[in-house]
């Protein structure tokens, strides 16, 4: 049975919930992954009646929903808070902007999100964690002994109560491993797992686009963390074979500029080998959704979302339930 192909609505928050449901269906999607911003899924309103109404709308459009996503509030749990965060946070999380107050309210909101997910009937919440040590990613001035350990300890202190609440609600968290988060490659992902003592609620929203341009083995990530792949984003990226003005760190150059070394692309138009990804997902017996996170600044988004859906449905295939060469022996008589 094919995996459901869903559309992550985070980049479509300018459209109301009814409209994005209608469009997702018209693009060919089986469901949506709802971002917890705009009116797509509002955690502070998510009582039984609210969740039932959301489900009714989804059913009316013939759509499923397997996950909700709290990237923006999750970012504030561990970050070094500054004026940038005000633009991505609800006013009731930002408050007066005092950094520790913002982090505390964000943590409380993540716990509420676990309960909202349970009420809504999904088993996975995706998102970011933020990081108090991302600014140390390039070690100059030299990182002092204990600074990185302190960052992972801060992550564990702030996220363990969240993860405990997720466990109580029967929900898994999927960190989208990504620059600026506590985990941004394979090594840091393992360190994050270790920091929370292998907490059973902690896993990953696998997104290959954030690995490819860094030079990280995005297929190996699937095998390395097979038991923690809680959700999958299908997102593409291209990177150059020749030198560019702006390298891996982006050079303070906006996305979608030709001088960049890398940029996001409509699914199937970048450098990611999705064939290898599907085979690896089959190997680890991942049966959850394939959720398209669409970004391509040079393409009409409705055209891109439609072609991406078709591409994912074409590239996906079920695993074999036989050992093919065993059939030689079966027919030897």
305-318 per-position pLDDT tens digit:
999 999 999 999 99
Q: Could you read off the pLDDT of 189-222 as tens digits, one per residue?
A: 999 999 999 999 999 999 999 999 999 999 999 9
What's the average model confidence in pLDDT over 10-28?
Answer: 98
* Interatomic CA distance for residues 7 and 48, integer angstroms: 24
* Interatomic CA distance for residues 80 and 24, integer angstroms: 36
Instruction: Give 327's pLDDT tier (boundaries 50, 70, 90).
Output: low
Residues in a beta bridge with 34: 68
Q: Could you read off the pLDDT of 234-284 as tens digits, one per residue?
A: 999 999 999 999 999 999 999 999 999 999 999 999 999 999 999 999 999
Q: Go through the domains of the chain in sequence order and give each one's CATH number.
A: 5-330 (3.20.20.150)
Pairing of strands 262-265, 202-206: unpaired
What's the average model confidence in pLDDT over 76-95?
Answer: 98
* Interatomic CA distance for residues 22 and 24, integer angstroms: 6
Angle between helices 48-60 and 17-27 (to 10 degrees): 30
* Interatomic CA distance for residues 157 and 104, integer angstroms: 12
Q: Could you read off the pLDDT of 99-135 as tens digits, one per residue?
A: 999 999 999 999 999 999 999 999 999 999 999 999 9
Q: Is there a cis peptide before residue 141, judged by omega within 30 degrees of 0?
A: yes
Mean pLDDT of the chain: 96
Quick check: 278 and 229 in contact, CB under 8 A? Answer: no
pLDDT at 333 over 90: no
Phi and psi torsions of 312, nearest 5°: -65, -40
Scanning 121-260, the segments in alpha helix (DSSP H) are 147-169, 186-195, 209-212, 218-224
Report the 10 Å Cβ neighbour count for 18: 12
Q: What is the pTM of this model?
A: 0.95
* Interatomic CA distance for residues 74 and 201, integer angstroms: 15
Phi and psi torsions of 141, nearest 5°: -50, 150
């Amino acid at each position: 049975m094919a995996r459901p192909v869903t559309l992550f609505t985070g980049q479509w928050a300018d459209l109301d919930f009814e409209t994005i449901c209608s469009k997702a269906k018209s693009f060919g999607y089986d469901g949506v992954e709802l971002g917890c911003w705009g009116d797509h899924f509002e955690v502070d309103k998510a009582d039984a009646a609210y969740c039932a109404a959301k489900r009714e709308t989804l059913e009316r459009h013939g759509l499923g929903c397997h996950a909700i996503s709290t990237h923006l509030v999750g970012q504030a749990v561990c970050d070094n808070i500054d004026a940038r965060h005000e633009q991505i946070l609800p006013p009731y999380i930002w408050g007066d902007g005092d950094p520790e107050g913002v982090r505390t309210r964000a943590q409380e909101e993540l716990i509420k999100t676990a309960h909202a997910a349970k009420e809504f009937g999904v088993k996975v919440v995706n998102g970011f964690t933020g990081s108090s040590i991302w600014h140390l990613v390039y070690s100059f001035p030299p990182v002092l002994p204990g600074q990185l350990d302190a960052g992972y300890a801060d992550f564990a202190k702030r996220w363990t109560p969240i993860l405990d609440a997720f466990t109580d609600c029967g929900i898994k968290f999927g960190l989208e491993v990504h620059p600026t988060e506590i985990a941004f490659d394979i090594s840091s992902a393992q360190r994050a797992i270790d920091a929370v003592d292998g907490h059973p609620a902690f896993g990953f929203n696998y997104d290959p686009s954030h690995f490819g341009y860094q030079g990280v083995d995005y297929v190996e990530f699937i095998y390395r963390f097979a038991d923690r792949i809680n959700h999958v984003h299908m997102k593409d990226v291209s990177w150059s074979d020749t030198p560019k003005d702006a390298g891996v760190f982006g050079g303070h150059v906006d996305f979608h500029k030709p001088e960049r070394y890398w940029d996001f692309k409509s699914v199937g138009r970048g450098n990611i080998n999705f064939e290898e990804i599907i085979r690896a997902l089959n190997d680890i017996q991942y049966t959850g959704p394939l959720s398209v996170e669409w970004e391509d600044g040079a393409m009409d988004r409705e055209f891109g979302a439609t072609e991406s859906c078709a591409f994912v449905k074409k590239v996906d295939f079920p695993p074999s339930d036989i050992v093919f060469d065993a059939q030689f022996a079966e027919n030897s008589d």
